[in-house]
A and B are shown apart, each in its own frame.
Chain A
Amino acid sequence: MSPVETSIPAGYTKVFGRPNSLSDAPTTYCPGCHHGVATRLVAEVIDELGIQERTVGIAPVGCAVFLYRFYRCDFVQAAHGRACAVATGLKRANPELIVFSYQGDGDLAAIGTAETVHAANRGENITVVFINNQIYGMTGGEMAPTTLAGQHTTTTPRGRDVATTGYPLKISEMLAQLDGPTYITRQSLHDAPHVAKARKALLTGFQNQVEGKGFSLVELVASCPTNFKMSPQKANKWLVEQALPAFPLGDLKVRD
Chain B
Amino acid sequence: MPKGMTVIDKERCKGCGLCVAACPFGVLAFSEEHNSSGYNVAMAQHPEKCTACMVCAQICPDVAIEVYRLDRAESKGAA
Q: Which chain A residues have a beta carbon within 8 Å of chain B's beta carbons?
A: 1-2, 4, 6, 8-9, 11-19, 22, 26-27, 29-37, 40, 191-192, 195-196, 225, 231-233, 236
In the assembly, what is the distance between CA of A29 and CA of B14, in Å?
10
Q: Are A192 and B22 in contact (CB under 8 A)?
A: yes
Q: Are A16 and B10 in contact (CB under 8 A)?
A: no
B66 nearest CB neighbor, chain A only = A17
In the assembly, what is the distance between CA of A184 and CA of B14, in Å?
33
Q: Are A35 and B69 in contact (CB under 8 A)?
A: no
In the assembly, what is the distance between CA of A30 and CA of B17, in Å?
12
Tell which of B12, B55, B71 touches A192, judged by Cβ atoms closer than 8 Å: B55
In the assembly, what is the distance between CA of A237 and CA of B59, in Å?
14
- Knowing A34-B61, A40-B63, the reply to whether A11 touches B12 (Cβ < 8 A) is no
On chain A, the residues within 8 Å of B15 by CB distance are: 31
- Knowing A1-B12, A2-B10, A31-B39, the reply to whether A18 touches B18 (Cβ < 8 A) is no
Q: Are A32 and B61 in contact (CB under 8 A)?
A: yes
- Knowing A11-B74, A15-B52, A232-B16, the reply to whether A192 touches B58 (Cβ < 8 A) is yes
Q: Are A195 and B7 in contact (CB under 8 A)?
A: no
Q: Are B11 and A2 in contact (CB under 8 A)?
A: yes
- Knowing A232-B16, A232-B17, A233-B17, the reply to whether A37 touches B61 (Cβ < 8 A) is yes
On chain A, the residues within 8 Å of B28 by CB distance are: none
Q: Nearest Cβ in chain B — how far from A112, in angstroms?
A: 24
- Knowing A26-B62, A36-B62, the reply to whether A12 touches B18 (Cβ < 8 A) is no
Q: Nearest Cβ in chain A — how far from B16, in angstroms?
A: 3
In the assembly, what is the distance between CA of A22 and CA of B12, in Å?
13
Q: Which chain B residues have a beta carbon within 8 Å of chain A's beta carbons?
A: 1, 5, 7, 9-12, 14-18, 21-22, 39, 52, 54-55, 57-63, 65-71, 73-74
On chain A, the residues within 8 Å of B63 by CB distance are: 18-19, 22, 36, 40
In the assembly, what is the distance between CA of A195 and CA of B53, in Å?
14
On chain A, the residues within 8 Å of B58 by CB distance are: 16, 37, 192, 195-196
Q: Nearest Cβ in chain B — how far from A119, in angstroms?
A: 28
Q: Are B22 and A191 in contact (CB under 8 A)?
A: yes
B11 nearest CB neighbor, chain A only = A2
In the assembly, what is the distance between CA of A82 and CA of B73, in Å?
54
On chain B, the residues within 8 Å of A29 by CB distance are: 61-62
Given A12-B68, A32-B61, 18 additional A-B pairs, CB 8 A: A1-B9, A2-B9, A2-B10, A2-B11, A8-B7, A9-B1, A11-B1, A11-B71, A15-B68, A16-B66, A18-B63, A19-B63, A30-B14, A31-B16, A35-B61, A36-B61, A36-B62, A233-B18
Q: Are B69 and A26 in contact (CB under 8 A)?
A: no
In the assembly, what is the distance between CA of A242 and CA of B58, in Å?
23
On chain B, the residues within 8 Å of A17 by CB distance are: 66-67
- Knowing A8-B68, A36-B63, the reply to whether A15 touches B18 (Cβ < 8 A) is no
On chain A, the residues within 8 Å of B7 by CB distance are: 4, 6, 8
On chain B, the residues within 8 Å of A34 by CB distance are: 61
- Knowing A8-B5, A15-B69, the reply to whether A192 touches B11 (Cβ < 8 A) is no
